[in-house]
Structure 1
């Protein structure tokens, strides 16, 4: 299994390369490029949320706990005293960081249903729907954000599968096939639920055909081709 740094760097490199490509083709602006790279890199860490001792789950729960505690204080700031707000902040943080974290880690198994393709597809399409319907982002931006999150997660799963191959011994390790899963019979009811949720999200997702038409527009790719090589190199080649 690949380690944290490998997942982080792999997702960042792939997301950065693809992000620059669609940015130079004119599909996204400066802010969209940065967000695509950030989401792709974040997606590269998501599958390890089911690992009790992984760096992503620890960082993630710390961030969520701080945000939750801050939201509680902001909501009740005009009604509670200073000492009460401090107590509320500590209670909110402690509840998320220790109680919810304990429940989550005891309910999940590493490389279980979270560490699977359909689960990551749900997160990707779910983000697309949230951006398009909830945040009023454009169709193109919404799909790019969701696809980059999903793509980063696929980089993670692919790296785990590659690391399950012992090239020196020309054999598969015991972990082979446990990373990029689309189904496991022992978790069949969980997978049934995942695919039902995925089907619902696909049904309500923004129109992909319109996004694909924009993506396959030859004008954009012709623009990218013109700016593919540095001017000095093109002059030298000609």
Structure 2
């Protein structure tokens, strides 16, 4: 099975094929992709990320090890923000220290929870369903999060889905769920 370098480098070098396929689908199938420069650049980033994303479920994968602390910090920071105004010490630094202490508990829960909820390697994350979910999330990010056009969102979602599918094809394992 391909390793991290093989997956990511495959994503880097095959992106022009995804652009060409999108152009063909736009021209001949009438799919309203908008291939603006920003959509192509975002598409490239999410295509290459998708080329390794299914390995997020492997505890030794670089992506897993990189995502786990980001999740922990995000959860801890969210808990900190919720806890910050629940303390009323006379000194502000005491309120912040107390809130961060609670935030650290949230971060630890995020750290261990990430491992606990992650399915077994080559399980549901290595599926057509998750490729579709990744594409839909990319579309939603572009259209609603970044306020770009629907056509740009459709293209970025297609690029994300395609990069994810590249990983599954390289692994020679494609399941529906």
TM superposition score normalised by structure 1: 0.58
Cα distance in 2 between the residues matched to 1:133 and 1:34: 18
Q: Which of 105, 109, 112 lines up with 1:91 in the alignment?
A: 105
Cα distance in 1 between the residues matched to 2:146 and 2:39: 14
Structure 2 equivalent of residue 4 of structure 1? 4
Higher RCO (Cα < 8 Å, 6 or more apart): 2
Note if contact 2:128-2:165 (Cα within 8 Å) is conserved in structure 1: yes
Cα distance in 2 between the residues matched to 1:54 and 1:155: 17
Note if contact 1:44-1:152 (Cα within 8 Å) is conserved in structure 2: yes
* Correspondence 1:66-215 to 2 at 5 A: 66-80=73-87, 81-98=95-112, 100-105=113-118, 108-133=119-144, 136-161=147-172, 179-182=173-176, 191=177
- Bigger Cα Rg: 1
The runs of 5 or more residues in structure 1 that have no matched partner are 162-178, 183-190, 192-238
The alignment's C-alpha RMSD in Å is: 2.8
Note if contact 1:47-1:115 (Cα within 8 Å) is conserved in structure 2: yes
Q: Which of 36, 49, 64 lines up with 1:28 in the alignment?
A: 36
Structure 2 equivalent of residue 60 of structure 1? 67
